């Protein structure tokens, strides 16, 4: 589910959960645990990457409509928790985006301190509204900290995904990398950031993420309404329709 590799103080967490590392309850819990374990002193920085042609395709929509509101009620807090864990991890965290990073995959990358995407046909974006689900507060505020207001609204309301050059121009990623060199470059950046004294890095990082958490917290009432919307039958009908249009046949 998550493959772990340590080398010279850098821990690589490789998402390897199904074909596209779709986010479900189990992957979320595993990611929370993996980030917590990376707090050990021997780890100086973390790289998060994916497998195959995807970093992560985002929330497992098939699982969501199959298991319904009871599953969503358990999953949504875990989604919030693993994004919060990545965002507030006190050491450098680098997203090595090896391919498609869609919806939750894009947001997980945005929660990292530096984002590198490999050149190729991978797409990145936040099509939650096209899927038919509203944004929870924390994911939206993470994206709002990475993108200017105009581009953010365009991506949110259009639901479109973009390829690497536009992603860099918009600020979805920090840099692009030739195919085959992604982990080497991510490791180089990891060592550069890890050379900053631990406490200095952690305190400065906290200054970046604290306003994000405060803004998300201020939206708690609205977020409760968002969560309730994830439980409604019409939301599942909309997701099912989206899957039929984009994937073809709903295999669940």
Output the pTM of the full model.
0.96
- Each residue's pLDDT tens digit, 131-169: 999 999 999 999 999 999 999 999 999 999 999 999 999
What pLDDT shows up at residue 248? 65
The owner of tokens 């365009």 is: 154
**Res. 247 pLDDT band, cuts 50 70 90:** confident
Pairing of strands 2-7, 161-162: unpaired
CA dihedral 229, 231, 237, 241 (to 10 degrees): 70
Active site residues: 128
Find the length of the chain. 252
- Each residue's pLDDT tens digit, 56-109: 999 999 999 999 999 999 999 999 999 999 999 999 999 999 999 999 999 999
Is the pLDDT at 251 greater than 60? The verdict is no
What pLDDT shows up at residue 122? 96
Q: Would you give the DSSP letter of residue 147?
A: S
């Amino acid at each position: 589910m998550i493959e772990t590799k340590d080398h010279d103080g850098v821990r690589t967490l490789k998402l390897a959960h199904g074909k596209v590392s779709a986010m479900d309850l189990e992957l979320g819990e595993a990611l929370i645990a993996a980030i917590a374990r990376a707090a050990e002193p021997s780890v100086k920085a973390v790289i998060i990457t994916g497998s195959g042609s995807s970093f992560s395709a985002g929330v497992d929509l098939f699982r969501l409509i199959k298991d319904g509101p009871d599953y969503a009620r358990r999953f949504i807090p875990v989604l919030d928790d693993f994004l919060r864990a990545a965002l507030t991890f006190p050491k450098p965290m680098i997203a090595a985006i090896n391919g498609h990073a869609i919806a939750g995959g894009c947001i997980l990358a945005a929660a990292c301190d530096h984002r590198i995407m490999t050149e190729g046909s991978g797409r990145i974006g936040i099509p939650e509204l096209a899927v038919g689900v509203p944004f929870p507060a924390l994911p939206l505020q993470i994206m709002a900290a990475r993108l200017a207001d105009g581009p953010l609204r365009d991506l949110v309301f259009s639901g479109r995904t973009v390829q690497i050059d536009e992603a860099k121009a918009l600020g979805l990623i920090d840099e692009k990398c030739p195919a085959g060199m992604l982990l080497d470059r991510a490791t180089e950046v990891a060592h550069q950031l890890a050379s900053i004294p631990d406490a200095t890095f952690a305190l400065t990082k906290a200054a970046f993420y604290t306003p994000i958490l405060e803004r998300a917290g201020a939206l708690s009432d609205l977020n409760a309404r968002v969560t309730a919307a994830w439980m409604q039958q019409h939301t599942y009908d909309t997701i099912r329709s989206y899957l039929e249009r984009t994937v073809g046949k709903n295999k669940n």
